[in-house]
Amino acid sequence: MVILKKQQLLRFNKDKIKNKKVIVRVDYNVEIKNKKLEESYRIEKSLKTINFLKANNAKQIILITHFGRPKNKEPEYSTKNLLPFLKKYIKEIEYFEWEPEKQIDENKKVVILENIRFFKEEEENDLNFAKSLAQLGDIFVNEGFSVSHRKHSSVYGISKYLPTYFGFNFEEEINNLNKVFEYIKNKKSIGIVISGIKFETKIELIDKFIKKADIIILGGGIANTVLKAKGFEIGKSIYDEEYLEFAKKIFSNKLLLPFDFVTQNGHRYLGEIKKDDIIYDIGEESLKIFIEELKKVKMIIWNGPLGKIEEKKYAKGSLEFAKNLMKLKNKKIIGGGDTLKIFKNIKVKNTFLSTGGGAMLYYLAYENLPIFK
Protein backbone atom coordinates (compact mmCIF):
# COMPACT_ATOMS: atom_id res chain seq x y z
CA MET A 1 0.00 0.00 0.00
CA VAL A 2 1.39 3.39 -1.04
CA ILE A 3 1.10 6.26 1.43
CA LEU A 4 1.76 9.57 -0.31
CA LYS A 5 3.85 12.00 1.74
CA LYS A 6 3.41 15.78 1.89
CA GLN A 7 6.61 16.38 -0.05
CA GLN A 8 5.13 14.34 -2.93
CA LEU A 9 1.82 16.18 -3.11
CA LEU A 10 1.27 19.26 -5.24
CA ARG A 11 -1.11 20.90 -2.76
CA PHE A 12 1.61 21.06 -0.10
CA ASN A 13 4.22 22.49 -2.49
CA LYS A 14 2.60 25.59 -3.98
CA ASP A 15 5.72 27.63 -3.18
CA LYS A 16 7.54 25.59 -5.87
CA ILE A 17 5.15 26.64 -8.66
CA LYS A 18 5.55 30.41 -9.06
CA ASN A 19 7.09 31.41 -12.42
CA LYS A 20 7.79 27.77 -13.23
CA LYS A 21 6.91 25.85 -16.40
CA VAL A 22 4.87 22.88 -15.23
CA ILE A 23 4.38 19.71 -17.26
CA VAL A 24 1.19 17.84 -16.32
CA ARG A 25 0.50 14.28 -17.47
CA VAL A 26 -3.27 14.03 -17.79
CA ASP A 27 -5.52 11.38 -19.31
CA TYR A 28 -7.79 12.95 -21.91
CA ASN A 29 -8.31 9.68 -23.73
CA VAL A 30 -11.99 10.42 -24.22
CA GLU A 31 -14.39 9.21 -26.89
CA ILE A 32 -15.82 11.57 -29.50
CA LYS A 33 -18.89 10.38 -31.41
CA ASN A 34 -20.78 12.45 -33.97
CA LYS A 35 -18.73 15.52 -32.88
CA LYS A 36 -19.89 15.05 -29.28
CA LEU A 37 -17.92 14.11 -26.21
CA GLU A 38 -19.21 10.78 -24.88
CA GLU A 39 -17.93 11.34 -21.35
CA SER A 40 -15.97 14.21 -19.76
CA TYR A 41 -15.24 12.82 -16.27
CA ARG A 42 -11.47 12.45 -16.75
CA ILE A 43 -11.18 16.02 -18.07
CA GLU A 44 -13.20 17.40 -15.18
CA LYS A 45 -11.12 15.53 -12.61
CA SER A 46 -7.92 17.22 -13.86
CA LEU A 47 -9.26 20.77 -13.48
CA LYS A 48 -8.58 21.15 -9.76
CA THR A 49 -4.86 20.65 -10.39
CA ILE A 50 -4.81 22.94 -13.45
CA ASN A 51 -6.69 25.70 -11.61
CA PHE A 52 -4.36 25.32 -8.62
CA LEU A 53 -1.35 25.84 -10.91
CA LYS A 54 -2.95 28.95 -12.41
CA ALA A 55 -3.86 30.37 -8.99
CA ASN A 56 -0.28 29.90 -7.80
CA ASN A 57 1.21 31.72 -10.81
CA ALA A 58 2.71 28.91 -12.83
CA LYS A 59 4.51 30.53 -15.78
CA GLN A 60 3.25 27.91 -18.23
CA ILE A 61 1.17 24.73 -18.05
CA ILE A 62 2.06 22.00 -20.56
CA LEU A 63 -0.45 19.15 -20.82
CA ILE A 64 0.54 15.72 -22.10
CA THR A 65 -2.02 13.05 -22.98
CA HIS A 66 -2.60 10.05 -25.19
CA PHE A 67 -5.77 9.86 -27.28
CA GLY A 68 -7.17 6.72 -28.89
CA ARG A 69 -4.97 3.92 -30.20
CA PRO A 70 -3.04 5.40 -33.11
CA LYS A 71 -0.88 3.20 -35.31
CA ASN A 72 0.51 5.73 -37.76
CA LYS A 73 -0.29 9.30 -36.61
CA GLU A 74 -3.83 9.16 -38.00
CA PRO A 75 -5.36 12.70 -38.05
CA GLU A 76 -8.46 11.56 -36.14
CA TYR A 77 -6.24 10.80 -33.15
CA SER A 78 -4.58 14.21 -33.05
CA THR A 79 -5.15 16.09 -29.79
CA LYS A 80 -6.15 19.03 -32.00
CA ASN A 81 -9.56 17.32 -32.09
CA LEU A 82 -9.89 17.75 -28.31
CA LEU A 83 -9.54 21.55 -28.39
CA PRO A 84 -13.23 22.47 -28.93
CA PHE A 85 -14.15 20.42 -25.86
CA LEU A 86 -11.20 21.46 -23.69
CA LYS A 87 -11.83 25.16 -24.33
CA LYS A 88 -15.11 24.83 -22.44
CA TYR A 89 -13.06 24.08 -19.33
CA ILE A 90 -9.70 25.78 -20.04
CA LYS A 91 -10.33 28.90 -22.13
CA GLU A 92 -6.72 29.81 -22.86
CA ILE A 93 -5.61 26.33 -23.96
CA GLU A 94 -3.72 26.03 -27.27
CA TYR A 95 -2.61 23.07 -29.32
CA PHE A 96 1.13 22.63 -29.90
CA GLU A 97 2.52 20.26 -32.54
CA TRP A 98 5.45 19.17 -30.43
CA GLU A 99 8.26 16.84 -31.42
CA PRO A 100 11.60 16.15 -29.68
CA GLU A 101 13.90 19.19 -29.31
CA LYS A 102 11.10 21.57 -30.28
CA GLN A 103 10.56 24.35 -27.73
CA ILE A 104 7.30 26.10 -26.82
CA ASP A 105 6.73 29.87 -26.99
CA GLU A 106 6.82 31.05 -23.36
CA ASN A 107 3.92 33.45 -23.98
CA LYS A 108 1.52 30.54 -24.38
CA LYS A 109 -0.08 30.05 -20.96
CA VAL A 110 -1.63 26.59 -21.36
CA VAL A 111 -0.74 24.20 -24.16
CA ILE A 112 -1.63 20.63 -25.01
CA LEU A 113 1.02 18.68 -26.89
CA GLU A 114 0.32 16.40 -29.82
CA ASN A 115 -0.84 12.88 -28.95
CA ILE A 116 2.08 11.41 -27.03
CA ARG A 117 1.42 7.98 -28.54
CA PHE A 118 2.22 9.36 -31.98
CA PHE A 119 5.80 8.68 -30.85
CA LYS A 120 6.88 5.03 -30.57
CA GLU A 121 9.46 6.09 -27.95
CA GLU A 122 6.63 6.83 -25.51
CA GLU A 123 5.60 3.21 -24.97
CA GLU A 124 9.23 2.05 -25.18
CA ASN A 125 10.05 4.34 -22.22
CA ASP A 126 12.96 5.72 -24.25
CA LEU A 127 15.05 7.76 -21.82
CA ASN A 128 16.29 10.24 -24.44
CA PHE A 129 12.69 10.87 -25.40
CA ALA A 130 11.73 11.31 -21.73
CA LYS A 131 14.65 13.75 -21.33
CA SER A 132 13.43 15.72 -24.35
CA LEU A 133 9.99 15.99 -22.75
CA ALA A 134 11.52 17.04 -19.44
CA GLN A 135 13.40 19.89 -21.14
CA LEU A 136 10.06 21.60 -21.77
CA GLY A 137 9.48 22.35 -18.10
CA ASP A 138 10.83 22.85 -14.58
CA ILE A 139 8.41 20.60 -12.68
CA PHE A 140 6.43 17.46 -13.50
CA VAL A 141 2.96 16.82 -12.06
CA ASN A 142 1.45 13.36 -12.45
CA GLU A 143 -2.31 13.69 -12.77
CA GLY A 144 -2.57 10.60 -14.96
CA PHE A 145 -3.38 7.92 -12.40
CA SER A 146 -5.10 5.86 -15.10
CA VAL A 147 -1.82 5.42 -17.03
CA SER A 148 0.50 5.09 -14.04
CA HIS A 149 0.56 1.30 -14.25
CA ARG A 150 2.56 1.68 -17.47
CA LYS A 151 6.31 2.30 -17.74
CA HIS A 152 5.93 4.95 -20.42
CA SER A 153 8.16 7.98 -21.02
CA SER A 154 5.51 10.60 -20.17
CA VAL A 155 4.61 8.91 -16.87
CA TYR A 156 7.59 6.91 -15.67
CA GLY A 157 10.65 8.16 -17.57
CA ILE A 158 10.08 11.91 -17.23
CA SER A 159 9.92 11.68 -13.44
CA LYS A 160 13.61 10.66 -13.43
CA TYR A 161 14.60 14.10 -14.75
CA LEU A 162 12.30 16.58 -12.99
CA PRO A 163 11.04 17.30 -9.47
CA THR A 164 7.79 15.30 -9.44
CA TYR A 165 4.52 15.89 -7.56
CA PHE A 166 1.13 14.21 -7.61
CA GLY A 167 -2.01 16.18 -8.45
CA PHE A 168 -5.29 16.38 -6.57
CA ASN A 169 -7.05 13.58 -8.45
CA PHE A 170 -4.06 11.24 -8.22
CA GLU A 171 -4.02 11.73 -4.45
CA GLU A 172 -7.77 11.11 -4.26
CA GLU A 173 -7.39 7.89 -6.28
CA ILE A 174 -4.70 6.45 -4.01
CA ASN A 175 -6.51 7.46 -0.81
CA ASN A 176 -9.78 5.86 -1.91
CA LEU A 177 -8.22 2.63 -3.18
CA ASN A 178 -6.25 2.37 0.07
CA LYS A 179 -9.61 2.08 1.87
CA VAL A 180 -10.01 -1.35 0.24
CA PHE A 181 -6.87 -2.57 2.02
CA GLU A 182 -8.04 -1.00 5.28
CA TYR A 183 -11.37 -2.85 5.00
CA ILE A 184 -9.51 -6.13 4.42
CA LYS A 185 -7.17 -5.46 7.36
CA ASN A 186 -10.12 -4.65 9.65
CA LYS A 187 -12.04 -7.70 8.38
CA LYS A 188 -14.88 -5.60 6.96
CA SER A 189 -16.78 -7.43 4.22
CA ILE A 190 -16.08 -6.71 0.55
CA GLY A 191 -17.90 -7.67 -2.64
CA ILE A 192 -16.08 -7.33 -5.95
CA VAL A 193 -17.59 -7.37 -9.43
CA ILE A 194 -15.12 -8.08 -12.24
CA SER A 195 -16.40 -7.95 -15.77
CA GLY A 196 -15.49 -6.84 -19.29
CA ILE A 197 -13.65 -8.84 -21.96
CA LYS A 198 -9.93 -9.06 -21.15
CA PHE A 199 -9.12 -11.91 -18.78
CA GLU A 200 -5.40 -11.13 -18.95
CA THR A 201 -5.73 -7.74 -17.19
CA LYS A 202 -7.86 -9.17 -14.37
CA ILE A 203 -6.19 -12.46 -13.60
CA GLU A 204 -4.13 -11.19 -10.63
CA LEU A 205 -7.14 -9.37 -9.18
CA ILE A 206 -9.31 -12.49 -9.37
CA ASP A 207 -6.49 -14.53 -7.83
CA LYS A 208 -6.10 -12.10 -4.94
CA PHE A 209 -9.74 -11.32 -4.18
CA ILE A 210 -11.01 -14.89 -4.41
CA LYS A 211 -9.12 -15.19 -1.10
CA LYS A 212 -9.75 -11.70 0.32
CA ALA A 213 -13.32 -10.81 -0.76
CA ASP A 214 -16.55 -12.14 0.76
CA ILE A 215 -18.34 -12.18 -2.62
CA ILE A 216 -16.72 -12.26 -6.06
CA ILE A 217 -18.98 -11.77 -9.07
CA LEU A 218 -17.77 -12.32 -12.63
CA GLY A 219 -19.58 -10.94 -15.67
CA GLY A 220 -19.22 -10.33 -19.41
CA GLY A 221 -16.48 -12.13 -21.36
CA ILE A 222 -14.73 -12.98 -18.07
CA ALA A 223 -17.78 -14.99 -16.93
CA ASN A 224 -18.12 -16.58 -20.39
CA THR A 225 -14.55 -17.87 -20.17
CA VAL A 226 -15.19 -19.45 -16.75
CA LEU A 227 -18.51 -20.96 -17.89
CA LYS A 228 -16.86 -22.39 -21.01
CA ALA A 229 -14.01 -23.79 -18.89
CA LYS A 230 -16.53 -25.52 -16.64
CA GLY A 231 -18.20 -27.20 -19.60
CA PHE A 232 -21.25 -24.98 -20.24
CA GLU A 233 -22.42 -24.14 -23.76
CA ILE A 234 -21.91 -20.42 -24.50
CA GLY A 235 -22.57 -20.57 -28.26
CA LYS A 236 -20.56 -18.05 -30.26
CA SER A 237 -20.13 -15.70 -27.30
CA ILE A 238 -16.84 -13.91 -26.72
CA TYR A 239 -14.42 -15.65 -24.36
CA ASP A 240 -10.67 -15.82 -23.78
CA GLU A 241 -9.35 -19.15 -25.06
CA GLU A 242 -5.85 -18.47 -23.75
CA TYR A 243 -7.09 -18.45 -20.15
CA LEU A 244 -9.39 -21.48 -20.19
CA GLU A 245 -6.91 -23.54 -18.16
CA PHE A 246 -6.66 -20.84 -15.49
CA ALA A 247 -10.46 -20.47 -15.49
CA LYS A 248 -10.88 -24.24 -14.86
CA LYS A 249 -9.04 -23.80 -11.56
CA ILE A 250 -11.25 -20.99 -10.29
CA PHE A 251 -13.44 -22.41 -7.57
CA SER A 252 -14.86 -20.83 -4.45
CA ASN A 253 -18.17 -20.79 -2.58
CA LYS A 254 -17.78 -16.98 -2.71
CA LEU A 255 -17.95 -17.02 -6.52
CA LEU A 256 -21.13 -15.94 -8.34
CA LEU A 257 -21.64 -16.29 -12.09
CA PRO A 258 -24.61 -15.15 -14.20
CA PHE A 259 -27.18 -17.85 -14.99
CA ASP A 260 -29.45 -15.99 -17.41
CA PHE A 261 -28.58 -13.86 -20.40
CA VAL A 262 -29.76 -11.71 -23.28
CA THR A 263 -28.68 -13.07 -26.66
CA GLN A 264 -29.38 -11.93 -30.22
CA ASN A 265 -32.09 -14.62 -30.18
CA GLY A 266 -33.71 -13.42 -26.95
CA HIS A 267 -33.54 -14.44 -23.28
CA ARG A 268 -31.71 -17.66 -22.40
CA TYR A 269 -31.00 -19.48 -19.14
CA LEU A 270 -27.69 -21.25 -18.69
CA GLY A 271 -28.29 -24.69 -20.18
CA GLU A 272 -30.64 -23.31 -22.86
CA ILE A 273 -27.93 -21.56 -24.89
CA LYS A 274 -27.64 -22.90 -28.42
CA LYS A 275 -24.57 -23.16 -30.61
CA ASP A 276 -25.48 -20.08 -32.70
CA ASP A 277 -26.39 -17.86 -29.70
CA ILE A 278 -24.21 -14.93 -28.71
CA ILE A 279 -24.41 -13.60 -25.14
CA TYR A 280 -24.61 -9.80 -25.28
CA ASP A 281 -25.99 -8.86 -21.86
CA ILE A 282 -26.70 -10.20 -18.40
CA GLY A 283 -30.23 -11.35 -17.56
CA GLU A 284 -32.58 -9.69 -15.06
CA GLU A 285 -32.70 -12.65 -12.68
CA SER A 286 -28.91 -12.82 -12.32
CA LEU A 287 -28.89 -9.07 -11.66
CA LYS A 288 -31.46 -9.37 -8.87
CA ILE A 289 -29.47 -12.12 -7.15
CA PHE A 290 -26.22 -10.12 -7.47
CA ILE A 291 -27.77 -6.99 -5.93
CA GLU A 292 -29.31 -8.99 -3.06
CA GLU A 293 -25.93 -10.58 -2.30
CA LEU A 294 -24.07 -7.26 -2.49
CA LYS A 295 -26.44 -5.76 0.10
CA LYS A 296 -24.68 -7.99 2.65
CA VAL A 297 -21.21 -6.42 2.31
CA LYS A 298 -19.76 -3.14 3.60
CA MET A 299 -17.87 -2.22 0.42
CA ILE A 300 -18.48 -2.92 -3.28
CA ILE A 301 -15.80 -2.71 -5.99
CA TRP A 302 -16.89 -2.82 -9.64
CA ASN A 303 -14.76 -2.85 -12.77
CA GLY A 304 -16.05 -3.60 -16.27
CA PRO A 305 -19.51 -3.45 -17.91
CA LEU A 306 -21.78 -6.50 -17.71
CA GLY A 307 -22.81 -6.42 -21.37
CA LYS A 308 -22.06 -4.95 -24.78
CA ILE A 309 -22.83 -1.35 -23.75
CA GLU A 310 -21.83 0.05 -27.16
CA GLU A 311 -25.27 -1.11 -28.35
CA LYS A 312 -28.14 0.53 -26.47
CA LYS A 313 -30.32 -2.62 -26.40
CA TYR A 314 -27.51 -4.55 -24.70
CA ALA A 315 -26.60 -1.80 -22.20
CA LYS A 316 -29.74 -2.37 -20.10
CA GLY A 317 -28.15 -4.88 -17.70
CA SER A 318 -25.19 -2.62 -16.86
CA LEU A 319 -27.47 0.43 -16.47
CA GLU A 320 -29.88 -1.42 -14.18
CA PHE A 321 -27.01 -2.77 -12.13
CA ALA A 322 -25.55 0.75 -11.76
CA LYS A 323 -28.92 2.26 -10.76
CA ASN A 324 -29.52 -0.45 -8.18
CA LEU A 325 -26.02 -0.06 -6.75
CA MET A 326 -26.69 3.65 -6.22
CA LYS A 327 -29.68 2.73 -4.02
CA LEU A 328 -27.39 0.81 -1.66
CA LYS A 329 -25.77 2.51 1.33
CA ASN A 330 -22.52 0.53 1.07
CA LYS A 331 -19.23 2.28 0.27
CA LYS A 332 -18.58 1.81 -3.46
CA ILE A 333 -15.52 2.12 -5.69
CA ILE A 334 -16.20 1.90 -9.41
CA GLY A 335 -13.69 2.24 -12.24
CA GLY A 336 -12.74 1.55 -15.83
CA GLY A 337 -13.18 3.75 -18.89
CA ASP A 338 -16.16 1.80 -20.23
CA THR A 339 -17.72 1.52 -16.77
CA LEU A 340 -17.58 5.32 -16.36
CA LYS A 341 -19.72 5.74 -19.50
CA ILE A 342 -22.57 3.92 -17.72
CA PHE A 343 -22.75 6.71 -15.13
CA LYS A 344 -23.14 9.52 -17.68
CA ASN A 345 -26.79 10.11 -16.69
CA ILE A 346 -26.90 8.41 -13.29
CA LYS A 347 -26.67 10.34 -10.03
CA VAL A 348 -23.73 9.01 -8.03
CA LYS A 349 -24.17 8.43 -4.27
CA ASN A 350 -21.68 7.22 -1.68
CA THR A 351 -19.39 6.19 -4.53
CA PHE A 352 -15.88 6.95 -5.66
CA LEU A 353 -15.58 6.84 -9.44
CA SER A 354 -12.01 6.01 -10.35
CA THR A 355 -10.53 7.42 -13.56
CA GLY A 356 -8.44 4.25 -13.78
CA GLY A 357 -9.31 0.95 -15.37
CA GLY A 358 -6.08 -0.99 -15.74
CA ALA A 359 -4.35 1.18 -13.12
CA MET A 360 -7.12 0.55 -10.60
CA LEU A 361 -6.88 -3.21 -11.21
CA TYR A 362 -3.08 -3.15 -10.98
CA TYR A 363 -3.04 -1.15 -7.75
CA LEU A 364 -5.66 -3.35 -6.08
CA ALA A 365 -3.81 -6.51 -7.15
CA TYR A 366 -0.26 -5.42 -6.24
CA GLU A 367 -0.82 -2.55 -3.76
CA ASN A 368 1.72 -0.58 -5.75
CA LEU A 369 2.38 1.02 -9.16
CA PRO A 370 5.51 0.91 -11.37
CA ILE A 371 6.09 4.66 -10.87
CA PHE A 372 6.75 4.05 -7.18
CA LYS A 373 9.26 1.23 -7.73
Q: 197 pLDDT exceeds 90? A: no
Q: 284 pLDDT exceeds 90? A: yes
Residue 240's SS3 state is coil
* pLDDT value for 86: 96
Average pLDDT over residues 180-204: 92
Q: At residue 167, what are phi and psi to the nearest 5 degrees?
A: -75, 180
Same domain, 149 and 190: no
Distance between CA atoms of residues 140 and 335, nearest Å: 25
All residues at 6 or more sequence positions from 87 whose CB lies less than 8 Å from its CB, including other chains: 93
Same domain, 350 and 210: yes
CA nearest to 66, candidates 37, 47, 42: 42
Same domain, 139 and 183: no
* pLDDT value for 198: 81
Average pLDDT over residues 149-167: 96
- For all residues of the chain together, what is the average pLDDT? 94
pLDDT tier at 251 (50, 70, 90 boundaries)? confident
Of 134, 168, 202, the last residue of a domain is 168
Does residue 338 lie within any of the structural domains? yes
Distance between CA atoms of residues 98 and 115, nearest Å: 9
Average pLDDT over residues 191-215: 90
Contact 361, 301 (CB under 8 A): no
Distance between CA atoms of residues 354 and 173, nearest Å: 6
Of 145, 168, 191, the last residue of a domain is 168
Does residue 246 lie within any of the structural domains? yes
Does residue 154 lie within any of the structural domains? yes
* pLDDT value for 174: 97
Does residue 313 lie within any of the structural domains? yes
* pLDDT value for 313: 93
CA nearest to 39, candidates 369, 364, 357: 357
Sheet with 190-194, side-by-side order of all strands: 255-256, 215-218, 190-194, 299-303, 331-335, 351-354
Average pLDDT over residues 87-106: 93
* pLDDT value for 336: 81
Residue of 196 and 55 predicted with greater confidence: 55
Same domain, 197 and 154: no
Same domain, 201 and 319: yes
Same domain, 26 and 135: yes
Does residue 371 lie within any of the structural domains? no
Same domain, 280 and 189: yes
CA nearest to 87, candidates 118, 68, 111: 111
* pLDDT value for 338: 83
In tens, the pLDDT along 310-347 reads 899 999 999 999 999 999 999 999 998 788 888 888 88
> In 10 A of CB 208, how many CB atoms?
16
Same domain, 183 and 151: no
CA nearest to 21, candidates 89, 84, 113, 97: 113
Same domain, 108 and 248: no
Q: At residue 221, what are phi and psi to the nearest 5 degrees?
A: -65, -30
Classify residue 292 as exposed, middle or buried by CB count within 10 Å of its CB (0-12, 13-18, 19+): exposed
Contact 305, 338 (CB under 8 A): yes
pLDDT tier at 227 (50, 70, 90 boundaries)? very high
Does residue 320 lie within any of the structural domains? yes
Q: 87 pLDDT exceeds 80? A: yes
3-state DSSP of 56-98:
CCECEEEEECCCCCCCCCCHHHCHHHHHHHHCCCCCCEEEECC
H helix or E strand, kind and range, residue 21: strand 21-25
Q: Give the chain's domain count.
A: 2
Domain that holds residue 302: 177-366
Q: How far is CA 219 from CA 142, 197, 225, in A?
A: 32, 9, 10
Same domain, 58 and 156: yes
Does residue 373 lie within any of the structural domains? no
Does residue 1 lie within any of the structural domains? no
Straight-line distance from the first to the last Cα atom of the chain, in angstroms, rounded to the nearest whole number:
12
In tens, the pLDDT along 292-307 reads 999 999 999 999 999 9
Contact 249, 226 (CB under 8 A): no
Of 168, 192, 207, the last residue of a domain is 168
CATH number at residue 44: 3.40.50.1260
Same domain, 323 and 232: yes
Q: At residue 134, what are phi and psi to the nearest 5 degrees?
A: -60, -30
Q: 188 pLDDT exceeds 90? A: yes
Q: 187 pLDDT exceeds 80? A: yes
Average pLDDT over residues 158-171: 97
* pLDDT value for 184: 95
Same domain, 228 and 311: yes
* pLDDT value for 202: 87
> What's CA 174's distance to the chain center, in Å?
13
